[in-house]
């Protein structure tokens, strides 16, 4: 099989790095995490194609993006201080051309359709995918299993099921587009020793893998619904620090890194709009209905065996609602991830998880829940109307639990 030709963007990045390292092949190869022979072959190919140092290349080239991820991984391995890691990430991402911090909402979520029977704008809430994590069915009585391959399958089922449900509501699919909040914890990360020991993928490969999956999800939704608006916030699992930073939380999160790469990929696709604020929350409106999106790890802790986390969530929302109203950021409904339980409480929507039930949930006695994500519609007159979970397993019934029996002894 012949080798895949190297793209112009990768060759451009190679000659740029080579020039930055004073034309030193050893240093440039180390920075690119490739062998010297590979470097020499790329330099020769670049010369034949007339590629000189200083060019920017194609910002949408997938090979180039993967090369950036690989190069970033190499740099991170050589750094020990958390602050240094944050600076590397900011230096790689900071030069992206697309301005995604400031919200410039697409017109289709601001101005209602003139068609009387139009059902409104759907929202499909994506969070808590925990890419790279492995859940062992043997440790949770066979009620769930999770891996990278299962995540891929569930992402495909998620799109098909969401579109199917929207077609039931509007067979003609009379939607101007779809809002897809990304609520964080998209990768598992290494925040606990047990995750470091048991994850199927480390953080960087998990980001690269999830990047390809989400590109497919966003393209599929854009093809089927016309437009996609993606407000994005970071979670607590994707961090590269021991504890969550209050300062520069976004720049120490692989969630944020993933969002920026996705925004770069879709920079020239007018159907897709990203909103990636630096803060902990994203505020946006659909037809004047105000939403606040946050991961939820700062909302509150505690709860009990009867109401679970509902108490801390409601109390945390009351505090947030009061504070935001004082600074002219009042909202109607808060969107929260983190708790892996689907609750539609009106003033608060808590998302389920793609990962589903795991060892922690079993050992802590949390209620069982199928892996699912939240879907609802926002109507220009009535606000939130249809609301429904989107189940992401094609086979929903839990596995039959094996019971150990002692045979009856006949005397």
**Interval 96-127: pLDDT, tens:** 333 444 556 788 777 776 666 789 999 999 99
CA distances (Å), 180 to each of 130, 208, 226, in order? 17, 20, 13
Q: Pinpoint the alpha helices (H) of 348-387.
A: 359-364
Per-residue pLDDT of 279-293, as tens digits, reads 999 999 999 999 999
Q: 43: closest CA among 71, 18, 77, 69?
A: 18
- Enumerate residues 6+ apart whose C-beta is below 8 A from 10: 42, 57, 61, 63, 64, 67
Stretch 327-331: mean pLDDT = 91
DSSP state of 399: P
Q: State the CB neighbour count (10 A cutoff) for residue 238.
A: 27
Cα–Cα distance between 385 and 403 in angstroms, integer?
44
Tokens encoding 403: 């019971």
DSSP E strands in 206-341: the ranges are: 228-231, 272-275, 281-286, 289-294, 333-336
CB 69 within 8 A of CB 254: no
Work out the percent of the chain whose per-residue pLDDT is above 90.
Answer: 57
pLDDT above 80 (res 371)? yes
pLDDT, one tens digit per residue, over 162-188 is 999 999 999 999 999 999 999 999 999
Q: Are 257 and 208 in contact (CB under 8 A)?
A: no
State how beta strands 383-391 and 372-379 pair.
antiparallel
Burial of 394 (0-12, 13-18, 19+ CB in 10 A): exposed
In the block, tokens 């909202």 appear at 331
pLDDT digits (tens, 9 = 90+) for 222-248: 999 999 999 999 999 989 888 989 998
**% of the chain at pLDDT higher than 70:** 81
Mean pLDDT of 390-398: 76
DSSP-derived letter for residue 194 is H
DSSP strand pairing (178-179 vs 383-391): unpaired
Query: Mean per-residue pLDDT for 387-411?
Result: 72
- Rounded-to-integer distance, Cα 1 and Cα 7, Å: 18
Quote the CA–CA distance of 27 and 37 in Å, as a whole number.
13
Quote the CA–CA distance of 28 and 13 in Å, as a whole number. 11
Contact present, 186 and 129 (Cβ < 8 Å): yes
Q: What is the pLDDT of residue 211?
A: 96
Tens of pLDDT along 192-219?
Answer: 889 989 999 999 999 999 999 999 999 9
Cβ proximity of 80 and 39 under 8 Å:
no
The predicted model scores a pTM of 0.73
* CA–CA gap between residue 361 and residue 94 (Å, rounded): 38
Closest CA to 42 of 21, 56, 54, 28: 28
**Three-state SS annotation for 233-250:** CCCCCCECCCCCCCCCCH
Average pLDDT taken over every residue of the chain: 85
């Amino acid at each position: 099989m012949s080798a895949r030709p190297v793209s112009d963007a990768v060759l451009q990045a190679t000659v740029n790095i080579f020039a930055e390292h004073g034309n030193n092949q050893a240093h440039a190869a180390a920075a690119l995490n490739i062998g010297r022979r590979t470097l020499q072959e790329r330099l020769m190919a670049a010369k034949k194609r007339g590629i000189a140092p200083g060019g920017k290349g194609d910002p949408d080239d997938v090979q180039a993006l993967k090369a950036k991820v690989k190069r970033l991984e190499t740099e991170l391995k050589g750094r020990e201080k958390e602050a240094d890691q944050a600076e590397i990430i900011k230096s790689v991402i900071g030069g992206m051309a697309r301005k995604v911090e400031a919200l410039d909402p697409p017109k289709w979520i601001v101005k209602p359709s003139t068609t009387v029977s139009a059902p409104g704008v759907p929202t499909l809430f994506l969070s808590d995918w925990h890419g790279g994590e492995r859940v062992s069915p043997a440790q949770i009585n066979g009620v769930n299993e999770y891996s990278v391959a299962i995540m891929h399958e569930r992402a495909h089922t998620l799109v098909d099921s969401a579109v199917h449900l929207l077609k039931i509501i509007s067979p003609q699919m009379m939607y101007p587009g779809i809002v897809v909040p990304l609520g964080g914890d998209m990768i598992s990360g290494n925040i606990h020793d047990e995750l470091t020991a048991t994850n199927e993928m480390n953080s960087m490969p998990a980001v690269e893998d999830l990047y390809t999956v989400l590109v497919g999800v966003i393209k599929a939704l854009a093809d089927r619904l016309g437009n996609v608006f993606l407000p994005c916030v970071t979670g607590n699992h994707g961090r590269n620090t021991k504890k969550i930073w209050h300062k520069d939380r976004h720049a120490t999160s692989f969630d944020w890194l993933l969002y920026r790469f996705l925004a770069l990929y879709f920079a020239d696709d007018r159907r897709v709009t990203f909103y990636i604020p630096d803060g902990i929350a994203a505020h946006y409106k659909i037809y004047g209905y105000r939403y606040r999106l946050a991961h939820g790890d700062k909302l509150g802790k505690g709860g009990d065996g009867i109401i679970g986390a509902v108490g801390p969530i409601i109390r945390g929302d009351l505090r947030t609602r009061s504070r935001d109203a004082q600074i002219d950021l009042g909202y109607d409904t808060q969107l929260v991830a983190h708790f892996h339980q689907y609750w539609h409480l009106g003033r608060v929507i808590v998302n389920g998880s793609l990962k589903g039930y795991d060892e922690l949930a079993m050992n802590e006695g949390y209620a069982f829940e199928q892996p699912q994500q939240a879907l609802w519609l926002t109507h220009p007159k009535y606000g939130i109307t249809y609301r429904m979970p989107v189940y992401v397993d094609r086979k929903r019934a839990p596995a039959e639990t094996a019971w150990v029996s002692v045979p009856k002894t006949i005397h």
